[in-house]
Amino acid sequence: MLLQIQFSNAQTITASGAATASTNVWDTEAAASNIGPGTPIYVVCRVHTAFTTASVGDTLIADLEQCATSGGTYVDLLKSPTFTVGQLVAGFDILTGTIPAGTNLRYLRFNYNYASGSGFTAGAISAFPTLAAPPLDYS
């Protein structure tokens, strides 16, 4: 199986005080897709372009979310820690992990939550599923 979806492809995130949904939503085409068991499907949410801001207190959280309907209320499946603008450099993985096993809802997307500060002046994210396990970081 070859996955050919990107939730975000160098998507600019500059809103302040708001959440920004990923450009693309993955429609699994099944009400109870249960895509977690079997071959693991990983998700990677990576900084594509370094974030900048006028305020050192700016922070970001990324969530992988699911929903039963395309326009409904999404709920978290995976949630990143809170990262400061100084951590959000190009190539930094905000969130990596496997889609949890269990009965997943039909629609999946990422949501980027501007957590605090005055607003990003630049920054972009790429997020995608993959069958290749992301490298481990033991730093």
With a cut of 60, say whether residue 3 has pLDDT above it: no
Residue 9 has pLDDT above 80, yes or no: yes
Length of the chain: 139
Which residue type is seen at 46? R
Q: pLDDT at position 34, please?
A: 64
This prediction's pTM: 0.86
2: confidence class by pLDDT, cuts 50, 70, 90: very low
Give the pLDDT confidence of 76-133 residue by residue, as tens digits: 999 999 999 999 999 999 999 988 877 678 899 999 998 777 788 899 999 999 888 8
**Alpha helical stretches, state H, 16-105:** none
Looking at residue 8, what is its pLDDT? 95
- Name which residue leads in pLDDT, 17 or 12: 12
Range with lowest mean pLDDT among 15-19, 63-67, 105-109? 15-19
Res 82: pLDDT: 94
More confident residue, 92 or 37: 92
Q: What is the mean pLDDT of residues 10-17?
A: 82
pLDDT score at 10: 96
Q: Is 123 exposed, middle or buried (0-12, 13-18, 19+ CB in 10 A)?
A: buried
What whole-number distance in Å separates Cα of residue 87 and Cα of residue 20?
Answer: 19
Residue 112: alpha-carbon gap to chain centroid: 7
